[in-house]
Structure 1
């Protein structure tokens, strides 16, 4: 059973309601900081009602997560995602439930400069979290569609109008002209080629890290797709065996290409690539 299957079972994550009209108790639904999983959780819950989306918009000092990190909170108190190392997410969910009950966005500071003296970030810094009340899943679904097609996506939140909209992906998450913009990149794909224990171990490590893993051998009829969010790892003990995939990788816009071999082996590899017409820029990055 997958984590998505578990999350779809309403009674497996009970919450305390207490007296009539009291706020539900926040409870973590999924142990994930994967943005696609967070957005899928939010879109499922939006089919039943409203959802709050908390976004990390400011970091003062150190922080465990990057700007643009999210927590999605359902009206029954279930939430997923991280904006810290796990120390304030329940407090964020509590604020989000208040925002949902009042149907109004809000911004909250934690740690350094925060009014909550009893909520201290272990790193000693501070963060600001913006909480938006979402009423439909359209914008989140658009982001998920872009990512499924291996394209970057961008969202912009305008505090004055409480509006969240799709925009061209910014270079990085942050404030632009008074609005907070976030960039979302496709899941990192790792193409691993090799028929050795090293290849198996690297594939297992990449898979456990949440990457999309593609294994390739010369027996495959077609070369795998390689795009700007792809890393190519060649773990052969034979230069001939790696050649087809290496040539394809060097002609692509893969962000990383690595190949196994000693200094002598790599010198031979470079000579072979040079004789095949590859430029120094392609060979040496």
Structure 2
């Protein structure tokens, strides 16, 4: 089983269902202590006991499969709690045990997941449209929601989607399990310079789809950026074609206002979660003046992280790349700390 399989559980469940197989989904909804898998981790089980994914790294999968087969028989979901002993935890690479709570849902049946709902979820994921799968643990009511706030449940969904973290929230006296299905993270690096040579593969390892933009063909050669997606275009046009949304980080590295400024302006007009720009404080002061002259407000300009990167004393291109990725990660995982 590959990591891709782990990330594609809804797609696998739908494919199995369309083959006429009975299908159940198991999802980690809560954890305590050193749980083997995070909240939101999933396992799909077929009626003939085939499984893909993981909810515990191996310690309780057998028991979950048995419960899933029973759920397929009676059409009723289950909330299961497992304590992972120290011995079992050690067997899957943990230093100590923990406890997990697992939701098992059959596809179909009186209280199971409706096939059209699963189809809508898979289609949203395919279209890179952010959506949350929401289930009332009291009565098994389910729906898909976007990040629009305004109601108590909508506020909870929006918070979960911004944090990119599944979990159970008490909303108006009802326990709701909310699973964000955000599109893949993306990073656009403007400037095929030496820092970008280090940052692009690092960001790829961290889970980003990376695109490097530079109209100067000699900079963005395959020899300098092996295997990377390169766009030999002007940054503003490239960003417009690429699309900017709350799952995108933009980093400008050229030092050249003719290249950086159009990208910065495009990013400031969007909902990217991170915008970082290389340059000293003096360089950034000149950048701010240009943006003010172009009509950008103080609040908009304050979204820029400059000088780019976390303050870790980085000197070399690789160290600067590490500092940039650290700052990007902080802004992603701690949305309350965003400007």
Q: TM-score range by the shorter chain?
A: 0.7 to 0.9
In 1, distance between residues paired with 2:277 and 2:86? Answer: 51
In 2, distance between residues paired with 1:97 and 1:117? Answer: 28
Task: Give 1:279 shift.
Answer: 1.7
In 1, distance between residues paired with 2:97 and 2:125? Answer: 35
Greater mean alpha carbon deviation, residues 48-57 or residues 152-161: 152-161
1:268 pairs with 2:246: no
In 2, distance between residues paired with 1:237 and 1:34? Answer: 40
* Aligned CA distance change for structure 1 residues 191 and 101 (closer, same or farther; 3 Å): same
Report if the CA contact (8 A) 1:30-1:79 is conserved: no
Aligned position for 1:138: 116
Relative contact order: is structure 1 or structure 2 higher (C-alpha 8 Å, sep ≥ 6)? 1
Given the alignment, which residue of 220, 244, 258 partners 2:233? Answer: 220
In 2, distance between residues paired with 1:147 and 1:186? Answer: 7
1:166 pairs with 2:144: yes
Task: Give 1:122 shift.
Answer: 4.2
In 2, distance between residues paired with 1:250 and 1:182? Answer: 29
Report if the CA contact (8 A) 1:68-1:174 is conserved: no
Task: Give 1:72 shift.
Answer: 2.0
* Aligned CA distance change for structure 1 residues 242 and 76 (closer, same or farther; 3 Å): farther
Given the alignment, which residue of 153, 171, 174 partners 2:131? Answer: 153
In 1, distance between residues paired with 2:34 and 2:214? Answer: 43
Normalised by the size of structure 2, how large is the TM-score? 0.64
Structure 1: state its 5+ residue gaps.
1-28
Report if the CA contact (8 A) 2:191-2:213 is conserved: yes
In 2, distance between residues paired with 1:245 and 1:39? Answer: 35
Aligned position for 2:71: 99
Aligned position for 1:41: 12
Aligned position for 1:258: 276
* Aligned CA distance change for structure 1 residues 200 and 102 (closer, same or farther; 3 Å): farther
Aligned position for 1:24: none
Aligned position for 1:246: 264
In 1, distance between residues paired with 2:188 and 2:36? Answer: 28
Aligned position for 1:15: none
1:209 pairs with 2:203: no
Task: Give 1:154 shift.
Answer: 2.1
Task: Give 1:253 shift.
Answer: 1.0
Aligned position for 1:56: 28
Report if the CA contact (8 A) 1:33-1:82 is conserved: no
Report if the CA contact (8 A) 2:138-2:175 is conserved: no
* Aligned CA distance change for structure 1 residues 101 and 117 (closer, same or farther; 3 Å): farther
The one-character-per-residue Cα deviations of 1:186-241 (angstroms, maximum 9, x if unpaired) are: 22121121122322332223233332223322342623211121111112232332
* Aligned CA distance change for structure 1 residues 161 and 119 (closer, same or farther; 3 Å): farther
Structure 2: state its 5+ residue gaps.
109-113, 148-156, 161-166, 216-231, 304-339
1:125 pairs with 2:125: no
In 2, distance between residues paired with 1:191 and 1:282? Answer: 19
Normalised by the size of structure 1, how large is the TM-score? 0.74
SS in 2 for 1:214: strand
Report if the CA contact (8 A) 2:9-2:52 is conserved: yes
